Chains A and B, each alone.
Chain A
């Protein structure tokens, strides 16, 4: 049950676009369209922002989008805003009916 691989940190200036990658295996990310992304501010509750690779829950800003190619999923934040500074985690359902999270990516808005 190795964690999915995410970059430790990504940064960008306001208005720019950034992309966070999430790499797994054929048994998780690559095997299913069940990748979700969570935004987590320190001391607060994780918030679902993308589900099933590229779907946004109601109320989530349109600047958040997701995609997947092979064993790697990606979260893109377009038009980066100061309020986007947070930790982001990917998660995937697995072939063992379990779940696995990525190590998390700290997004810094310069």
Chain B
């Protein structure tokens, strides 16, 4: 079954760092782009980042300079390293697949919770 699974969430203090991983099954991340989308409690979906198969990566202004996305094609994973975490980064983080040269997200992970609190 084609799927994405996020791991690595948890409780972290403001200013701390956390790494969340997205592992793909039954397809290779090297042939797709992967987006990160988050949903803060009681809020809507917010686009966070996109990692294109060609290597380009883009970030929302709200996380630029603090989040870094990387790919490991050998492990078939895409990670997001979060640093300088803020209370407002508290959210469920989803990774989602977008087929190359297409412009939608057709497979989503179940999401993982990141809580930033002292």
Complex-state Cα separation, A67 to B45, whole angstroms: 21
Measured CB to CB, the closest approach of chain B to A29, in angstroms, equals 12
B56 close to chain A: CB less than 8 A: yes
Question: Cβ of A51 and Cβ of B103 under 8 Å apart?
Answer: yes
Q: A32-B103, A36-B105 are in contact. Are A99 and B44 (CB under 8 A)?
A: no
B60 close to chain A: CB less than 8 A: yes
Pick the contact of B44: A45, A48, A52, A104 (CB < 8 A): A104
**Once A and B bind, how many residue pairs between them come within 8 Å at the CB atom?**
66
Kindly list chain A residues whose C-beta atoms are within 8 Å of the C-beta of B96.
46
Report the contact-size class of chain B (Cβ under 8 Å from the partner): 20 to 34
Q: A48-B106, A51-B104 are in contact. Are A91 and B47 (CB under 8 A)?
A: yes
B-side interface mostly: loop
Pick the contact of B47: A34, A48, A101 (CB < 8 A): A101
Question: Cβ of B58 and Cβ of A46 under 8 Å apart?
Answer: no
Q: A52-B103, A96-B58, A97-B56 are in contact. Are A46 and B94 (CB under 8 A)?
A: yes
Question: Cβ of A101 and Cβ of B35 under 8 Å apart?
Answer: no
Residues B53-95 near A (CB distance < 8 A): 56, 58, 60-62, 94
Q: Mark A72-101, 1 if CB is under 8 A from B, else 0.
A: 000000000000000101010100111111
Residue of B nearest to A44 (CB): B110
Pick the contact of A101: B45, B50, B102, B111 (CB < 8 A): B45
Question: Cβ of B50 and Cβ of A97 under 8 Å apart?
Answer: yes
Complex-state Cα separation, A38 to B108, whole angstroms: 11
A103 close to chain B: CB less than 8 A: yes
Measured CB to CB, the closest approach of chain A to B23, in angstroms, equals 16
Complex-state Cα separation, A52 to B106, whole angstroms: 12
Complex-state Cα separation, A46 to B102, whole angstroms: 18
A109 close to chain B: CB less than 8 A: no
Complex-state Cα separation, A51 to B103, whole angstroms: 8
A69 close to chain B: CB less than 8 A: no
Q: A34-B103, A51-B103, A97-B50 are in contact. Are A45 and B45 (CB under 8 A)?
A: no
Show the binding face of B for A, using Cβ within 8 Å: 35, 37, 44-47, 50, 52, 56, 58, 60-62, 94, 96, 102-106, 108-111
